Structure 1
């Protein structure tokens, strides 16, 4: 009997020891349920322009379901507060694991970013999956400081109803795009025979104007980044032709000189075309008083758009750099990135996702994608210099307004802007 009692006592001790071991294992910090992975929370600073935040939340849930040890905490901020929020977190010693970044912020946080190429076969292998025209934005000092999530392109939207009334057929193939002079003639015909009040409204931004600059073979800054190039022959020609479009009555002066909203003008149904970007496809979805579409932009010496977009960046000194990189790798895969861009009505930056099955505007998106595939490197090389461009972009806009108004010549105006650019470059080197 005593022997049996002793055996039971030993068994009870062994059971208690096993239970204590299990309890300790559950309390062990930094371990997950599967494979001993540490439990991590990834703070993801995010801003939304439309419904893409809700789409990303769904993608995050799917990721968390596949990775039980990872929780992604989306911190939503208005875009105007993004830079301040990130600077505050970094200066406070608590950088976020991740952030959604626009082209404007990429350069500002390049030194704090994780090199995504380092763990993904090197920068060339990593960047090969994305369209080439975006590369100057997110590759800094041969490091991939972010990953493209979506891409934007400047392009041409037009009023189908007015064109049909005028009997004008738009180019339906990239092999048959108009020259600018052919385009101007077509606009005049739509105005005369189609009843359009205006031929073309053009967004009041240097970014949109620069499309014409690149098509004519120009650029704002020299290829080596050491001096202004905007006042060369192509830059002067771009300013002069822009003025001519206004002088000929094709573009109303009320936008660039009067501040009238081009979106509102196009919505009236009295404008033949709108020079804007692919984001207007979503914006114009609700138009019902006329038919509209997207056609190929005219070309100068070459075809070109201007790429932009949003990116995902992982930050150093967080302790979760690997997990943040893994998450970025996931959301930029063909499957997940295609889902994100298709549902948000964005263009995918992936080379293998140029044609997505959008619920709306599929063919229109493909035209914008083609514009990007025919974009010159100078466009992104210029606009990626976001520590320099903001120092002269307003001067460029003001000068273009003065050229349109006849207050200065195109040559004098571009020379003046070139001096501002040279100063901005010199200040950057100090």
Structure 2
């Protein structure tokens, strides 16, 4: 080997060593601890959102090479039990998708220290959701999507009857006008029934708020359901059944309202925005979404899914960072648009959905015009879970003539006050 060749080889070895050292320093800069952080993420899916979240997670991991998101998928009916088991066993997930924020608020990480400005963070989301995720001045969760109750109608039957539905908030029907429209669709359009209504106290309570009532007082200290507005709501609901506008087979016989609407023989379905995705495969008739009628006021009932981080996971800061990412405008809009959900963000109320864009806008308007008492009631999920079945049973007692509206709601108020007292 010549001296010149030896010199060239020495320089080459030296340069290689320098490059290896620089590469190692760069890797340490991306992950100072040298150890990848693994976040368990408890998740359930209602539809296609599971595939959407997996794509978002992949993108996040590519930009954050020191983080691994371990998505743990369970069925919706099992999420509460699974989460409680993990928490009681001392092995909480880093974060979870939840519907019941109240039951887990004490175990939740307060996100306040992890966001730049808590007030500005909250202000990104629609006001009606605040009671669900801000408790005792703590950010116990963050909204991922929002739901609303609304009115889906059979356009083919309405057109056949010559009945035009409201196409703007300025044209919203009164309840009397709405009932008259349903009767006309039954008489001239051939509808067997005017409407079907989901068998849940949540959906029933929409009528309560439209009449100016509520389940609880504003401070949540006592029942308010047996007010004049509550009695009137129960009387109206019974009347809808007595006049044959609604079939007794749904609330009293267990018949599926979705199947009845799909049959093309029902003029309208009082349901939630998630049914837009459910009904998109209907081809036997045209259908759409219109505005719900108003009583003393307009109202829907807000709900949704939330993201919650948990104390004791060891990944509190990284979980909070990931939640902030998932609720950001760009990411949250992508998630809801592709999942056919509604975004809780004020700046994402109008999204470019592949299906039903105008329908989602109607649901969004219903939320904007909802009574604040609706969220005030339903955000108290620990209490609501104790009384929800009782309320459904009392409604059914009125429909089956086992109780008068006054007696049923007086008894319901007593049960609510007892539940409040036992908390």
User: What SS does the corresponding residue of 2:292 show, helix, strand or coil?
Assistant: coil
User: What SS does the corresponding residue of 1:59 show, helix, strand or coil?
Assistant: helix
User: What SS does the corresponding residue of 1:305 show, helix, strand or coil?
Assistant: coil
Aligned to 1:51: 48
| Cα-to-partner distance string for 1:210-242 (whole Å, 9 max, x where unaligned) | 000011111101111111100011111110111
Aligned to 2:106: 111
Check if 1:364 corresponds to 2:355. no
CA–CA separation in structure 2 for the residues paired with 1:343 and 1:321: 28
User: What SS does the corresponding residue of 1:358 show, helix, strand or coil?
Assistant: coil
Task: Pick one of 75, 81, 85 that aligns with 1:78.
Answer: 75
The runs of 5 or more residues in structure 2 that have no matched partner are none
Task: Pick one of 188, 207, 210 that aligns with 1:212.
Answer: 207
Name the CA shift for 1:151/1:410 in 2 (closer, same or farther; >3 Å): same
CA–CA separation in structure 1 for the residues paired with 2:320 and 2:41: 12
Aligned to 2:58: 61
CA–CA separation in structure 1 for the residues paired with 2:338 and 2:154: 25
**2:223–2:413 CA contact under 8 A, matched in 1:** yes
TM-score normalised by length of structure 1: 0.91
Aligned to 1:287: 282
**1:44–1:97 CA contact under 8 A, matched in 2:** yes
Larger mean Cα displacement after TM superposition, 162-171 or 394-403: 394-403
Q: CA deviation at 1:400?
A: 0.8
CA–CA separation in structure 2 for the residues paired with 1:88 and 1:317: 14
**1:266–1:274 CA contact under 8 A, matched in 2:** yes
Larger mean Cα displacement after TM superposition, 187-196 or 248-257: 248-257
| Cα-to-partner distance string for 1:187-221 (whole Å, 9 max, x where unaligned) | 00000000000001001111100000011111101
| Cα-to-partner distance string for 1:84-118 (whole Å, 9 max, x where unaligned) | 2222222232211111111x2x1111111112233
**1:97–1:324 CA contact under 8 A, matched in 2:** yes
| Cα-to-partner distance string for 1:234-288 (whole Å, 9 max, x where unaligned) | 1111101111111121111111111111000001101000000101101101111
Larger mean Cα displacement after TM superposition, 168-177 or 77-86: 77-86
The runs of 5 or more residues in structure 1 that have no matched partner are none
Aligned to 1:185: 180
Check if 1:318 corresponds to 2:313. yes
CA–CA separation in structure 2 for the residues paired with 1:333 and 1:321: 18
Task: Pick one of 201, 209, 213 that aligns with 2:196.
Answer: 201
**2:214–2:374 CA contact under 8 A, matched in 1:** yes
Q: CA deviation at 1:393?
A: 1.1
**2:151–2:290 CA contact under 8 A, matched in 1:** yes
C-alpha RMSD of the superposition? 2.2
Q: What is the number of residues matched between the two proteins?
A: 411
Q: CA deviation at 1:32?
A: 4.7
Task: Pick one of 120, 126, 135 that aligns with 1:140.
Answer: 135
